Amino acid sequence: MSVYDHPDFDNHEKVLFATDEASGLKAILAVHSTARGPAVGGCRMWTYENSSEALTDVLRLSQGMSFKNVLADLPIGGGKSVIMKPAGAFDRTALFEAFGRALNALNGEYMSAEDVGTSPEDIKVANRVTQHVVGLPSGTGDPSPVTAKGVFLGIEASADRALGKSTLSGVKIAVQGATGHVGAYLVRRLHEAGAELFLSDIREDALKALATETGATIVEDPDAIYDVQADIFTPCALGGIINDETIDRLKVKVVAGAANNQLRTREMGAELMKRGILYAPDYVINAGGIINVMGDIDPQFDAGWVEGKLLGLKATLGEIFDLSENEGRPINDIADEIARRRIARAVAANADAA
Ligand code: NAD
């Protein structure tokens, strides 16, 4: 497996492969950029087929964190970690202590929070052996409600732009991963705003309960979510779901959701544009969680600051939409360019100061 030649390597500053035989830990910690501060991003635990798949995931997620953090104008860099979930039974406490020791090897260049497959409680276990964690239950805790709020604001801005709707009342929204940490908070907000909801998830009981609570329609086959005749598709489960197999099935005017790395390839952004579908870049509108976690790094980042930053996300999204319209170029390319420019500026400023 090649690392430096990996298509998603993108000049990562560091990639640490950590193993601990006793606990079964196999983790990859990726630091994309520390130009603007210590890299911060969650730790994902997932059943990967092999280490190549885990490497691809962590590199893409880590770059996404860099772009997310810089577009939200946070004084941190971007990184991410993945744990290859051990097959069969394992000692979760021993695993996350071993993960904490791996964090120590990076000397604070990377700080981990929770992500898919991990929880603030796991991060608390890692905290027994390392200080390089954020999002503890005793701190800012679960970032999901704030992520959901940012995504909601992004959906509002997208509906305004693509549908000419100043509210979400009566807007048809298909949510994938509706009962997840972010999905459930978001669905309740969308319901309160009067949206007509179509929900999918693989957790049938939770889905039934949420649909009953919100008067939503259940999409029985999770794969059929791509075919729903709606105004907006809101992915809140997996990455890579906008791809050659799904794009022509979409019958919506907007894709805007919480899931990281929604576009399987960069070209999918141009394909959405060709089809007249407005794309709200995932890392722009799902930054609420990381914004909230900043309170663990410095108390000056309080609730009022978080609110201001969430409104800032909406403004940034509007600027990206404007540039895309004016220049006739895909929205994701515009967002990536702004992020890269800002990181390059920080690298140059650091070099000048050295
Ligand atoms: P989660 O694991 O709680 O939720 C994911 C949901 O998707 C689960 O309910 C799961 O059952 C469902 N799901 C899985 N496969 C599915 C399928 N094929 N079809 C339909 N549903 C399916 O995760 P989360 O924390 O809510 O995060 C959701 C997404 O948002 C992830 O991509 C994550 O990286 C991203 N994200 C989360 C946060 C946060 O604050 N939690 C912040 C930024 C981005």
Tell me what pLDDT residue 1 has: 66
pLDDT tens per residue across span 130-180: 999 999 989 888 889 999 999 999 999 999 999 999 999 999 999 999 999
**Structure tokens of 27?**
């983790």
Contact 210 CB / ligand 1 (< 6 Å)? no
Mean of the per-residue pLDDT values of the chain: 96
Torsion-angle region of 88 (φ positive above 0: left; ψ -120 to 50: alpha; else: beta): left
pLDDT tens per residue across span 259-286: 999 999 999 999 999 999 999 999 999 9
The fold adopted by the segment(s) 144-287+315-338 is Rossmann fold (3.40.50)
Contact 258 CB / ligand 1 (< 6 Å)? yes
CA distance 298 to 179: 32
Residue with CA nearest ligand 1 atom 1: 180
Helices assigned H by DSSP within the chain? 51-71, 92-104, 120-126, 144-163, 181-192, 204-214, 267-274, 282-285, 288-297, 303-327, 331-353
CA distance 62 to 38: 13
Rg of the chain taking only CA atoms, in angstroms: 20
Give the predicted TM-score (pTM) of the model. 0.94
CA–centroid distance, 259 to ligand 1, in Å, is 6
CA distance 171 to 196: 6
Contact 242, 261 (CB under 8 A): no
Best residue among 47, 112, 181, 221 to mutate for probing ligand 1's pocket (most ligand atoms within 8 Å of CB) is: 181
Best residue among 200, 219, 228, 286 to mutate for probing ligand 1's pocket (most ligand atoms within 8 Å of CB) is: 286
Ligand 1 atom nearest the C-alpha of 289 is 40
Residues with catalytic annotation? 80
Length of the chain: 354
CA–centroid distance, 182 to ligand 1, in Å, is 7
Contact 236 CB / ligand 1 (< 6 Å)? yes
Nearest to 65 by CA among 47, 55, 76, 78: 78
What is the percentage of the chain residues whose pLDDT exceeds 90?
94
Best residue among 238, 243, 283 to mutate for probing ligand 1's pocket (most ligand atoms within 8 Å of CB) is: 238
What value does the mean pLDDT take over residues 90-98? 98
Residue with CA nearest ligand 1 atom 25: 181
Domains 3-67+77-126 and 144-287+315-338 share a fold: yes
Contact 281 CB / ligand 1 (< 6 Å)? no
The fold adopted by the segment(s) 3-67+77-126 is Rossmann fold (3.40.50)
Q: Where are the domains of the chain?
A: 3-67+77-126, 144-287+315-338
Report which secondary-structure segment, H or E, holds 15. strand 14-20
